[in-house]
């Protein structure tokens, strides 16, 4: 069993819609949770990180962690075509467990 499981997608939404991305993890010792965005043929870039449980907001992006259910979410409000990318969730542990990634397409 993978330590981080991510909804596989792909996801296609119209411009302006809310994008909801989810991951679950198995190791209750995980403390740091991150979301990376990867455009095609590029290295991933850090989008958001959270520590322990709670919400974190940055512009149109909101990251949520629910440690009781071991659930990680990323919400993108007012989605734009430039948000079209693959989103990777990451739970921080020694082995640096990544989710498989969800490819999001925002249609203009």
Partner 1 sequence: GAVVSQHPSRVICKSGTSVKIECRSLDFQATTMFWYRQFPKQSLMLMATSNEGSKATYEQGVEKDKFLINHASLTLSTLTVTSAHPEDSSFYICSASRAGFSYNEQFFGPGTRLTVL
For residue 107, the minimal CB distance to partner 1 (Å) is 20
43 vs 59, beta carbon nearer partner 1 = 43
Helix runs in 13-107, H state only: none
77 lines the binding site for partner 1 (CB under 8 A): no
Paired strand residues for 71: 24, 66
Neighbours of 84 (CB within 10 A): 19
Pick from 49, 61, 71, 75: which binds partner 1 (CB under 8 A)? 49
1 lines the binding site for partner 1 (CB under 8 A): no
For residue 42, the minimal CB distance to partner 1 (Å) is 6
Between residue 25 and residue 44, which ones bind partner 1 under the rule CB under 8 A?
31-32, 34, 36, 41-44
Separate counts of helices (H) and strands (E) for the chain: 0, 11
- For residue 81, the SS3 value is helix
Pick from 45, 57, 58, 78: which binds partner 1 (CB under 8 A)? 45
Question: Can you give the length of the chain in residues?
Answer: 108
């Amino acid at each position: 069993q993978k330590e981080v499981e991510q909804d596989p997608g792909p996801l296609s939404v119209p411009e302006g819609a809310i994008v909801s991305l989810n991951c679950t993890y198995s190791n209750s010792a995980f403390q740091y949770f991150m979301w990376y965005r990867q455009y095609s043929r590029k290295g991933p870039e850090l989008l958001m990180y959270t520590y322990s449980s709670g919400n974190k907001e940055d512009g149109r992006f909101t990251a949520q962690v629910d440690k009781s259910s071991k659930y990680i979410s990323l919400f993108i409000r007012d989605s734009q075509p430039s948000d079209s990318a693959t989103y990777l969730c990451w739970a921080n542990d020694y082995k640096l467990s990544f989710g498989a990634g969800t490819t999001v397409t925002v249609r203009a």
